[in-house]
Structure 1
Amino acid sequence: MDAYESINRVLVHLFNDIWELEEKAVITDEFKDLTNNDMHIIEAIGLGDGNNMSAIARKLNITVGSLTTSMNSLVNKKYAIRERSEEDRRVVYIRLTKKGEKAYRHHEEFHRKMVESVLENLEEEEIPVLTKALDGVYKFFKSYNN
């Protein structure tokens, strides 16, 4: 098998497997009311004082309208809350609740384990090469629809 075929096989299987495995790993009994999509929205909201809907939608590369439906669900499930800005009442900030922060940390732990499993199989000098290759894949996906 040549390099092209090997890389293509790995990339196709990797993306599919990560999505499936991540769902199995992060959607536990405690978080069975969440979807993988919900977890990524929770990740985009982040910890701290919160973000407005536009900033979260930009992080996820989706429209505010698409985000609104998912956000309604997360608010109803008590993972997030909406708070109006004191300075400009038109601006709504989204912040994670304690339950949402717990889900965020649970998802973050999966990502930490995933990255550690990759790093433990590499020599120190191989890490910049992998980083450069993955950055190239990332740039391809970011520019593909532009």
Structure 2
Amino acid sequence: MSETFNVINELMVDIYNDILKIEENAFKDSRFNDVSITEVHTIEAIGMYEPKSMGEIAKALKITVGTLTVAINNLVKKGYVERYRSDNDRRVVKIGLTKKGRLLFRVHLSFHRAMINKCVEGLTGEQEEILTQSLKRVSSFLKEHYHLLEL
């Protein structure tokens, strides 16, 4: 195998594992020590501003509505999310973040911003575009070859 292959493979595995571990530890040692990284990603999928339906959130997370219901119930108990009835159709339940949930969202977003800023620091516009296209190709490969589009 080529040296480039070995370096890229090692970097991708290390980056993936490091991000998971850093996110996990960051919340464990903070005022948000009652949430898992999976719950943080659920909060991220809900978003800051407009409440979303369970179907919209489940689709974004690529999970079933049933699986999401368990997560939402836990996040409601912990005070991070609220259920709202739609103004247009009272049968429709929307999920939105509480003040505590929005704060957690911002903390998580801040970590991602710092990571991305460091990643592109010093790159030219052309280099940023090459990096973006490379990451898009990796993402497409994973979705196409591991059927992530079907979830």
The answer to whether the superposition gives a TM-score over 0.5 is yes
* Structure 1 runs (4+) greater than 4 angstroms displaced: none
Q: Which residue of 2 aligns with 1:57?
A: 58
Query: Which residue does the alignment assign to 1:117?
Result: 118
Matched residue SS, 2:82: strand
Counterparts of 2:116 and 2:53, CA distance in 1: 29
CA deviation profile, 1:39-91 (whole Å, cap 9, x unmatched): 10000000113100000011111111111111101000110000122332331
Number of positions where the alignment pairs a residue of Structure 1 with one of Structure 2 = 146
- Shift in Å at residue 17 of structure 1? 1.1
Give, in whole Å, the separation in 2 of the partners of 1:50 and 1:144: 33
Partner AA of 2:128 in structure 1: I
AA of the residue aligned to 2:4: A
- Structure 2: 5+ residue runs without aligned partners? none
Output the amino acid matched with 2:39.
Answer: D
| Unmatched runs of 5 consecutive residues or more in structure 1 | none
TM-score scaled by length of structure 1: 0.93
Please, what is the CA RMSD of the aligned residues? 1.4
Question: Percent identical across equivalent pairs?
Answer: 42
Letter in 1 for 2:18: D
| Match of residue 82 from structure 2 | 81
The aligned amino acid for 1:142 is: K
Q: Distance in 2 between matches of 1:126 and 1:17?
A: 24
Asked whether the 8 Å contact 2:27–2:35 carries over to 1, the reply is no
Q: TM-score, normalized by length of structure 2?
A: 0.90
Separation in structure 1 between the aligned mates of residue 3 and residue 106 of structure 2, nearest angstrom: 40
Q: Does 1:108 align with 2:109?
A: yes
Contact 1:80 1:94 in 2 (8 A): yes
Q: Residue 63 of structure 2: SS of its match in structure 1?
A: coil
Contact 1:80/1:96, CA 8 A, preserved across alignment: yes
Matches within 5 A, 1:1-146: 2-146=3-147
Residue 125 of structure 1: how far off its partner (Å): 2.6
Alpha-carbon distance, 1:24 to partner: 1.9
CA distance in 2, matches of 1:23, 1:63: 24
